Amino acid sequence: MFVTLGAHGTPIKKRVRLSFRAADALLERLDRGEDLLEILCQGDEPYFSILRLLAPSLSLANAHRVALEYDGHAQKAFRSFGRRCAYSIFVFLFSFAMIYFFSQLIYPQMAAYAQDFGTALSLLKFFMNVLLAGLAGFFAFLGYVFLLPAQEWIERRLRTRSWMKKWVSLQMATLLRPLMKARLSTKDAFYVLARLENDSRIAYYARQIVDRLESGQTLLEAMDALDPDLLTFVELGMESMDMEAMLGLYLRRSEKRMKKLEDDGVRLLQLLSYSCVGILVFVAYEILLSPLNVLYTI
């Protein structure tokens, strides 16, 4: 709201009163001579870190838009995947709970009639435990990649993975594009990214690129740890003298590919969940009908 009102020429004090709950305290700080930009950029989240870094080079409106877009990439990707997987996870957890319900309460009463299914039930419990541990580890790992600051010892092991290169390159291109629009040189843009405070993953890669550039390597050589597709579009940007447009094309292309990867992950989780339910129904059906089978044999 503050940025939008500013685009329409609204006076600063009125913008502050309409936009912030702590407007009175903020206005007091302004009256004491504190800089408005420094006040607005206070915060530990990646959004504020990027806003604080980009505001001197871009307008506040553009810095806000870029910070919001960058912060939203990770948050939206993780939340979107989580929402789409929620039903499948519920189905899996329900079947997991039912397996233990049958093994602890139902099967002991039916063991005399369904001894043949004891091994199958134990194997199913083992499989479900392994799958649950795998899912917990997978979502914990996604939470680290999408939401948490990077740890260097982990990044050194992940940076050779193609999917990690694509994710980092998508984030890097999101920030590089507006810096190119502000007419910064590519080297200066990486200097800016290397100073990111609270997103050590982008800063980690940017510092490596800056070190390589200072050692005399070309831009493409310095960026060889990133997605090869990004390098292709950077090369096209240098040839066409329009890096901003080429980075925009790369972003659209990469987002489509990330969406396809997300769709594949959701389908795989659905397949596993429904398979667990199907096996559970079959085993439970056979156990519950085992006394009737004994009577039929007699």
In tens, the pLDDT along 65-110 reads 777 777 666 666 677 778 888 888 888 888 888 888 877 777 677 6
pLDDT for 234 equals 92
pLDDT for 116 equals 64
Number of Cα atoms under 13 Å in the Cβ half of residue 15: 15
In tens, the pLDDT along 154-194 reads 777 777 788 888 888 888 888 888 778 777 788 888 888 88
pTM confidence score: 0.69
pLDDT for 209 equals 92
Q: Where are the domains of the chain?
A: 2-67, 69-289
